[in-house]
Each structure stands twice: as structure tokens, then as C-alpha cells.
Amino acid sequence: MIYDPNANTNGDKKRYGIYAIDTKGNKSMIYNDSNFSCYSPIPLKPRTVPNIISGTKTPTGQAQDGVVSVMNVYNTLLLFPAGTKIKELRIWQVYPKTTASSTDPVISYEVTESVWAGRNARGLLGTVPVEEYGSASFYLPPGKVVFFQAVNQDGIAFCNELDFDILYN
């Protein structure tokens, strides 16, 4: 995580450091430099994958997954090129940010490429098949902000949903 513990008092001279967060939300500084801010670090060499924290049990009373049905992925305002066959939908979860500004700190180098791209941390929840005639049906957990991508037979995302969806219980 990129964090400045004195962000409220530093004004425009924020000094971001790199911090690790444990399962209880405690922050431990990994790296900080007095000469420059670690605002948008990019790893310079591959690292070994850290140990996986074992999963927790589902809390009692947690809502069940909801059923989502897409009737026809081809029924869209922006027409697909002739002959396009949509094979699957990618389902992306958008993670919440802990800062008020969508661009502070920048979480991706993509922010230099487009206005929207680097603002939201997201992770792939999974993919689901699309039937030949364009329908798809799948389960989705409640309380997660998601968006969908239509993916063609070559694995290329043809269309991003321009809005977000969320299931409530």
C-alpha cells in the first residue's frame, strides 16, 4: 500500500511510503525515502509470491449469491463488427479506495494513458460462457461492485460496460 501518515498536515508536499497491511489492518512501513515520495512504485524485478493467508469461514447469516442473467450480449447501443462472436463475459470487481480522491494516490501507470483507467483498483472475479445466441447466466456474490467485459473467440475484450453493478441482499 502507498500511504502518507502525515497527509493531512503536509499539504501538497505529501511523502508517500510503501507499507504492508496485515489481516487486522495494521500498517508496517517497508520503505520510505526522505528525498522523494514513493508515489507510484513499480517493481523492478520479479518477486516470489508471498504465503497465502488461509481463508475464513463464511459468517453465519451471510447472504446467498444472486443469479444474474444476461439475455443478449449482442443487443447493445454500439454494434459489434460483422461476424463478431462473443464467447464469454469477464466479471471484474472494483475494489474500494481508502482515499477521497480517485487519483490520489495513483494506483496504476494507466492513469497517464486515459482519464479513467488508473483510477479504480480492480480484480478479475472470473469468466462465464456466453451461449451462441448471446445469453449468459451465473451466480454473483452480493455487495461487490462489478462490471462486465464482452470477450470474443480470440480472447479479446470487445466491449467494457461503462457503468458498475452491485447486488444487494
Strand duo 27-31 + 146-152: pairing: unpaired
Backbone dihedral region for residue 107 (phi beyond 0: left; psi -120 to 50: alpha; all else: beta): alpha
Decide if 32 contacts 50 (C-beta within 8 A): no
| Continuous segment of H or E residues that includes residue 55 | none
pLDDT in tens, 38-73: 777 777 788 787 777 666 565 566 678 888 999 999
Span 92-110, average pLDDT: 70
**Angstrom distance (rounded) from CA 150 to CA 98:** 29
Residue corresponding to grid cell 454500439: 78
| Continuous segment of H or E residues that includes residue 77 | none
Please tell me the predicted confidence (pLDDT) of residue 118: 52
Mean of all residue pLDDT scores within the chain:
78
pLDDT of residue 127 exceeding 70:
yes
**Residue ranges of domains in the chain:** 1-46, 66-160
Please tell me the predicted confidence (pLDDT) of residue 130: 95
**pTM value > 0.85:** no
**Angstrom distance (rounded) from CA 115 to CA 108:** 12
